[in-house]
Amino acid sequence: MADPSTDQFTAVAEVYDDLMSVVPYRWWVDYVERLWRERSFWPRRVLDLACGTGNVLLELQRRGYAAEGTDFSAAMLAVAARKLRPGTPLWLQDARSLALPGPPFDACVCLFDSLNYLLEVDELRQAFAGVARHLAPGGLFLFDMNAIRALETGMFDQSGCGSDDSLEYEWRSAWEPTTRLCTISMEFRRHAAEGTQVFYETHRQRGYTLGEVRDNLEAAGFEVLAIYDAFTTRPPTARTDRFHCLARCARQP
């Protein structure tokens, strides 16, 4: 197993929602529901795997789902807990070894390239197997991933500000083609009346081929229903930067 970095999603948790203020989470959940409804699928209990600060969970709850979240960053979950309905189940767990209490879920979502943070094929398969263990037979699993193209063409080379001038960031990425690992060095400057706080995180993502994704889903007990160019119902192309994958739990009751 790859060494789990301790400097991912720690300090960044408190500024994450500011950084994501432009992300249309409501529209993302519209897309999730569209893919469910196209298959006449009406889940009630939904698991948000790697839920981070809970933005998808919040939107699922608003729409009446019984939604629970899990993530391995205590700092991200602490932010989520402040925003979500009191008592929302939030589980501090590693996606590679999921063991949640309670009955199986009808559906699982895992959005915003969270699965790219699993750096070995075996880890991806462990996460898929964990989701399969927690889904009811026939349950749907929808996730997105950064495509290799996005990681190798420097998608993470970014600098900018948060929603106001109080936060600045500078990210630089390095791509290693043989391992397909992308290392992103992040520097943040947070300006406040007391002075400027500078902090750093190093994130690592792996790029997976569609074949690896399919094979490992099937090995974990899923039927792959579709892989789409992100936020569409068209197949991925050579220019796809992000894809969504929809799979059905084929496990027998």
Ligand X SMILES: C[S@@+](CC[C@H](N)C(=O)[O-])C[C@H]1O[C@@H](n2cnc3c(N)ncnc32)[C@H](O)[C@@H]1O
Binding-site member from 14, 105, 114, 143 for ligand X (CB under 6 A):
114
Smallest distance, ligand X to C-beta of residue 16, A: 7
CB 147 within 8 A of CB 130: no
Nearer to ligand X, 81 or 250 (CB): 81
Smallest distance, ligand X to C-beta of residue 194, A: 27
205 sits near ligand X (criterion: CB under 6 A) = no
Report the alpha-carbon distance of residue 182 to residue 40 in Å, rounded: 38
Longest dimension (CA), the chain: 59
Nearer to ligand X, 60 or 217 (CB): 60
Report the alpha-carbon distance of residue 72 to residue 91 in Å, rounded: 8
Angstrom distances, CA of residue 57 to CA of 21, 65, 109 = 16, 9, 10
73 sits near ligand X (criterion: CB under 6 A) = yes
Q: Which residues within the stretch 117-146 sit at the binding site for ligand X (CB under 6 A)?
A: 117-118
112 sits near ligand X (criterion: CB under 6 A) = yes
Structure-derived torsion over alpha carbons of residues 175, 177, 181, 187, reported in degrees to the nearest 10: -10
Count residues binding ligand X (CB under 6 A).
19
208 sits near ligand X (criterion: CB under 6 A) = no
Smallest distance, ligand X to C-beta of residue 80, A: 9
- Give the closest residue to 113 by CA, choosing from 77, 150, 82, 81: 150
Nearer to ligand X, 205 or 223 (CB): 205
52 sits near ligand X (criterion: CB under 6 A) = yes
Q: What's the start-to-end Cα distance of the chain, in Å?
A: 31
| Selected range binding ligand X among 92-100, 153-161, 209-217, 218-226, rule: CB under 6 A | 92-100
User: Which residues have CB under 8 Å from 57's CB, separation 6+?
Assistant: 48, 51, 67, 68, 69, 80, 84, 88
Strand pairing class (167-176; 158-161): antiparallel
Nearer to ligand X, 13 or 227 (CB): 13
| Contact footprint for ligand X (CB under 6 A) | 9, 50-52, 55-56, 71-73, 76, 94-96, 111-114, 117-118
